[in-house]
Structure 1
Amino acid sequence: MSYQTLQRTVNARLEIKKSEFIAYAYPVTSREQAMFHVEQLREQYADARHYCWAYIIGDPNNTTSAGFDDDGEPSGTAGRPILNVLQHKSIGNIIIIVVRYFGGIKLGAGGLTRAYAGSAQAAVNEMILSPYVAMAQVQIQAEFATEAQCRYVVDSLHGSIDDVAYSKQVLLNITIAEREIETLKTALAMAGKVLHDDG
């Protein structure tokens, strides 16, 4: 599962034959989240002609959830070119929305395809990408005397402690990269702790 994800929202503008193309890219983890951004831009740019988009949730090389919309542009000239840019660049958990103000000059199917792909590429050029890391929630059951040691192990593996419950023992709920779980188990076993995988 090697792909890139967007760290923060970016946008870019292109003007092609008097039409203005405003591309926005947002990090998303669900279709609902992606559609929320589409509706937001429809309100923000209420007088625009088209709101074309494409999204990929998860791995772009093995997509479980992807979608696109030409929003009234000729079929295949807007959403698909945006999606192609995302797949070509291996970017997942993302939506790119291109808002178009029509400038009065028709671009033709080829011109539109290039304009939407170019707008998506302009947004990609602004992006700060980072490799996707699959995370997992796990629980560690420990004695009071070894809590500090558990915290040290989690910290050394760049995990985060989300919650701690104290009763007869200490129960730590943590989030850690899936690839580090075996290392965590080994380190905790050496220290005599119990690990519960919530996965």
Structure 2
Amino acid sequence: MAQTRYPIPAERYRCEIEVKHSRFITTVVSTDTPDAALDFISQIKQEFPDATHNCWAYLIGPPGSTDRIGLSDDGEPHGVAGKPMLTTIQHSRLGDITVVVTRYFGGTKLGKGGMVKAYTLAVKTALEQLTMTEKIDWVALSLHFDYQFLDSIERLLPQFEVVLIEKQFAEKIYLQLKLPEENCADLCTRLTDLTAGQIELISDQNSAQIDKD
């Protein structure tokens, strides 16, 4: 089953390191599609048009994903920038992430091994300092049931991280909820058992984010 909740960058973050007089400016942001990642990369290139290189990597999806990834050495020797940057974010705890490392050459060549270490360090430094939030795939769930079940259902819902959106009292009770997708199947089973099948359940999925404590 696909991972439905995982850490992502909470906001755009930037830091800078210096290696043998070369400046490495790392900018990190959360992106949930490849197009969003490429748009962000383009913005950074426009912000630093005089940079020697704007190398980048992105990973869309849960931490460690390989399905939707991208990278670029942007003129650096092949494999010394984009690949170590991507490897670093793939081994982090973060998903839905794009990283751009902007380099201003300082006059001293680093060699291929030195550049790999520098770009890796630039990304690691940013990842160690940025603030995270948690991405959750939410499910909207509607419940219709008889009044006799209200107390029992209201005691059950908090066990599944349910957020109450709307409550209506008519011939039957109507509740509009949202909850993490990973909890939905178990909750529906519990509700069906609790009411002996005398409940109508309608679900719909969407995504949202909540800050980590």
1:111-150 maps to which residues of 2 (within 5 A)? Answer: 111-129=114-132, 133=136, 135-142=137-144
Are 2:79 and 1:76 aligned? yes
Counterpart in the other structure of 1:8: 11
Are 2:161 and 1:158 aligned? yes
Q: Give me the whole-angstrom Cα distance separating, in 1, the residues matched to 2:63 and 2:114.
A: 26
1:84, distance to aligned residue in structure 2 (A): 1.0
1:31, distance to aligned residue in structure 2 (A): 0.7
Q: Give me the whole-angstrom Cα distance separating, in 1, the residues matched to 2:171 and 2:46.
A: 54
Q: 1:172 to 1:53 in 2, by over 3 A?
A: farther
Query: What is the one-letter code of the residue matched to 1:72?
Result: G
Q: Give me the whole-angstrom Cα distance separating, in 2, the residues matched to 1:164 and 1:97.
A: 46
Maintained 8 Å contact 1:161/1:174: yes
Q: Give me the whole-angstrom Cα distance separating, in 1, the residues matched to 2:100 and 2:142.
A: 42
Q: Give the alignment's TM-score, normalised by structure 2.
A: 0.76
1:66, distance to aligned residue in structure 2 (A): 0.8
List alignment gaps of at least 5 residues for structure 2: 206-213
Are 2:105 and 1:94 aligned? no
Bigger drift between 181-190 and 54-63 goes to 181-190
Q: Give the alignment's TM-score, normalised by structure 1.
A: 0.80
Q: Give me the whole-angstrom Cα distance separating, in 2, the residues matched to 1:145 and 1:168.
A: 9
Maintained 8 Å contact 1:139/1:195: yes
Counterpart in the other structure of 2:108: 105
Are 2:64 and 1:27 aligned? no
1:151, distance to aligned residue in structure 2 (A): 7.6
Counterpart in the other structure of 1:195: 201
Residue identity over aligned pairs, in percent, reads 28
Count, aligned residues: 198
Counterpart in the other structure of 2:61: 58
List alignment gaps of at least 5 residues for structure 1: none
